[in-house]
Structure 1
Amino acid sequence: MQKKNVPSMVKDQQLIQRRREQMIKGAVHLFKQKGFHRTTTREIAKQSGFSIGTLYEYIGSKEDVLYLVCDSVYDEVRRRLEADMDMQQSGISRLRAMISSFFHIMNEMQDEVLVMYQEAKSLPKEALPYVLEKEEEMTAIFEGAIHECRKKGELKLSGNEMRLLAHNIMVCGQMWTFRRWSLHNEFSLEDYTAMQLRQLLAGVQTADVEKVE
């Protein structure tokens, strides 16, 4: 799926990136408070620190801003997750570390993640498939790690079960954001992560791995 081309009157790519980063930060703040539809481009410009005229030098519409928010969030989550992956680890140890890292990233980026999932329905029809594909790519990172565990004999899962576990990991990370109004009052992030790891891997680890733990 091809990335959407967001129009810009400016040719300097570094300046475009810098201005759009300001725009994304301002938009997340406003979308969280007011929602996408109740936020105006003039408010986004003001929150971003420049005029409405300057805003339209870097985008074509308010929907472009929402697209940039979603695209940026996925890229940042993936960048952080890949940066945290310890290539010296392997198998179940690596999978556990990835899940823990993902939960911590969701905690650190909870405003951005919440806005993205709440407002993605307002994306232009041609842009939504691209964003959904990025969600699939994120899930595939975990599916690959799970597949490695099965090859090493550490997990006993069928092909469909591996894919389902990858989706469950994604949902559990996102739940820390979506249910934070309740979860944050009951669990620390460390407790939540430990409990989810037990539940996600219960019954799918081989006996040898369970003995080691």
Structure 2
Amino acid sequence: MMSVTQISTTVKNQELVEKRREQIVLAAIKLFSQKGFHKATLKDLAANAKLSYGNIYDYVGGKEDIIYLIHEYVYGLLLDGLEQVTAQIADPIEKLRRMVRFEFSIMDKTADAILILYYYSHILKNEYLYKLLSAEREHLQRFELVLEECIARGLIKPCIVRLNANLIKGMIDAWVLKRWDLRGHVTASDAANEILDMVLNGLTPKNERMESPGRKEKHDLDGKTIFIANGGTIPASAIISRLVAGNARLAVFTKNILTSREYPVSFIDDPKIRFFSSEEYGPLTPEAYESIAAEYGAIDVYVHDLGQGNTEYPPSEQDVFDAGRRFEEQLRAAQDLAQYFLKNASVRQPDRMIYVAPWRWDRYLNPIRFETALAGAIALTRELSRKSGPYGKKVNCVIPGFLKTPRPSPIESKLTPRILEKISLKRLGKIDDLADTVGFLSAEASDYITGEVIHVTGAIHQNYGEIND
């Protein structure tokens, strides 16, 4: 939501004022970009914002007020977001990387609004122009503080901090101001990496040069913080391994924090991963998620494995009962968090949500609950992507098929021969096929993909639920 300014209003309900002004701002950005500020009328704006012409004067006094509200909207996103993405980050170089990448993401999403401010800020009254410039000064100070911290720790050489903060910000702004020349030649991610390379290698002594992100190794998730729900399954463990390889920070929510797992990778001492146990935080609820985000820092990507990671066959009656309960718990948690994400879509991260349906082996635990969880993952993806898309959120679903278990398992050895008859590729998938798909959906390379249901199944001939058990 937008903060309430000193722009006069006849409405006393402040929450309604925030809501309507955001509605007006989003409509104004679109209208001014299409028609230009001077040609657009308040009558046009009222129609685009789905308000009556008379009603719009309850929230703004004229078009000039809207320019300032656009400024508040954009800078609110920037300043609040910078606070979130650097929370709990001790390394100032990492702070700088996250700040630059976040700035690019906001610049990319709000490019039309930035251009409007660039062209029309001069029409503001002195009072509001002063506030706009003060906000920009506060914005630049965020970069200055990080640069000063880098100098104090000997990570970069002494420099003119105020000048370099402006140079960094100027290079970021060029993504919008020079987009006519840049778009189609480089991506926002490429541009962010080039700026970081220029800044770090240009300011760092030659004998202590820092590795440029994306140069020697594909760090496609560098600077991202990813939340993994139900992180104790075999598929989730493979996903964790892939995301860590991409240089992401992970907050892993699981029932028990184990020192060993079926997936043959040890995570317990990895500094990029922090485990959060349901024994300490209780079940995964919006309140638990908020608590973890406040403690660990803003979450960029949310990944939820709705499965069990079953490897046993045949299951006992108790296994069937327990699996049904766990399926229900995970689906309920995903539904509750989806409502939370929708409610806060305009003001909070994550920007990406990925639902991982149960892998196919889970159907042999409890077919009815399996199909319910599968359908739930697809429904959540479609509904959440539709409603949160206008806020720039990307929501996708991955459906794993029959994947080879990391170690020989009873279910794989007993069922594979008849299963292969139903798969076009005539082989089981690799667990890395699933992990790499989730890694791709977590990275900037998938920035225009949302609402998709991706089958990592090798093309099963029949409908997903129809292979005979």
TM-score normalized by the length of structure 1: 0.91
Residues 74 and 113 in structure 2, CA contact (< 8 A), matched pair in contact too: yes
Residue 102 and residue 208 in structure 1: after superposition, are their counterparts in 2 closer, same or farther (change >3 A)?
farther
Residues 116-135 of structure 1 correspond to what in structure 2 (within 5 A)?
116-135=117-136
Residue 163 and residue 182 in structure 1: after superposition, are their counterparts in 2 closer, same or farther (change >3 A)?
same
Could you list the per-position Cα deviations for residues 104-144 of structure 1 after superposition, in whole angstroms to 9, with x for gaps in the alignment? 22112212222222221121232111101111111000000
Take 2:21 and 2:154, find their aligned partners in 1: how far apart are those partners? 46
RMSD: 1.8
Letter aligned with residue 118 of structure 1: Y
Residues 153 and 206 in structure 1, CA contact (< 8 A), matched pair in contact too: no
Residues 200 and 209 in structure 2, CA contact (< 8 A), matched pair in contact too: no
The residue aligned with 2:205 is: 206
Take 1:76 and 1:116, find their aligned partners in 2: how far apart are those partners? 15
- The answer to whether 1:180 aligns with 2:179 is yes
5+ residue gaps, structure 1 = none
5+ residue gaps, structure 2 = 213-469
Secondary structure of the 1:139 match is helix
Take 2:143 and 2:70, find their aligned partners in 1: how far apart are those partners? 23
The residue aligned with 1:167 is: 166
The structure whose residues are more often strand, as a share, is 2
Take 2:191 and 2:202, find their aligned partners in 1: how far apart are those partners? 19
Residues 168 and 200 in structure 1, CA contact (< 8 A), matched pair in contact too: no
The residue aligned with 1:196 is: 195
The residue aligned with 2:384 is: none
Residue 212 and residue 192 in structure 1: after superposition, are their counterparts in 2 closer, same or farther (change >3 A)?
closer
Residues 73 and 116 in structure 1, CA contact (< 8 A), matched pair in contact too: no
Q: CA deviation at 1:212?
A: 6.3
Secondary structure of the 1:5 match is coil
Residues 8 and 59 in structure 1, CA contact (< 8 A), matched pair in contact too: yes
Residue 114 and residue 212 in structure 1: after superposition, are their counterparts in 2 closer, same or farther (change >3 A)?
closer
Take 1:195 and 1:187, find their aligned partners in 2: how far apart are those partners? 10
Residue 144 and residue 48 in structure 1: after superposition, are their counterparts in 2 closer, same or farther (change >3 A)?
same
Residues 70 and 117 in structure 2, CA contact (< 8 A), matched pair in contact too: yes
Q: CA deviation at 1:204?
A: 1.2
Q: CA deviation at 1:207?
A: 4.6
Could you list the per-position Cα deviations for residues 60-92 of structure 1 after superposition, in whole angstroms to 9, with x for gaps in the alignment? 222111111112211111112222225234122
Residues 4 and 127 in structure 1, CA contact (< 8 A), matched pair in contact too: no
Letter aligned with residue 130 of structure 1: K
Residues 22-171 of structure 1 correspond to what in structure 2 (within 5 A)?
22-158=23-159, 161-171=160-170
The residue aligned with 1:17 is: 18
Take 2:207 and 2:80, find their aligned partners in 1: how far apart are those partners? 33
Letter aligned with residue 34 of structure 2: Q
The structure whose residues are more often helix, as a share, is 1
Ranges of 4+ aligned residues in structure 1 off by more than 2 Å: 86-89, 200-203, 206-209
Take 1:207 and 1:164, find their aligned partners in 2: how far apart are those partners? 22
Q: CA deviation at 1:51?
A: 0.9
Q: CA deviation at 1:42?
A: 0.9
**Greater relative contact order (CA < 8 Å, ≥ 6 in sequence):** 1
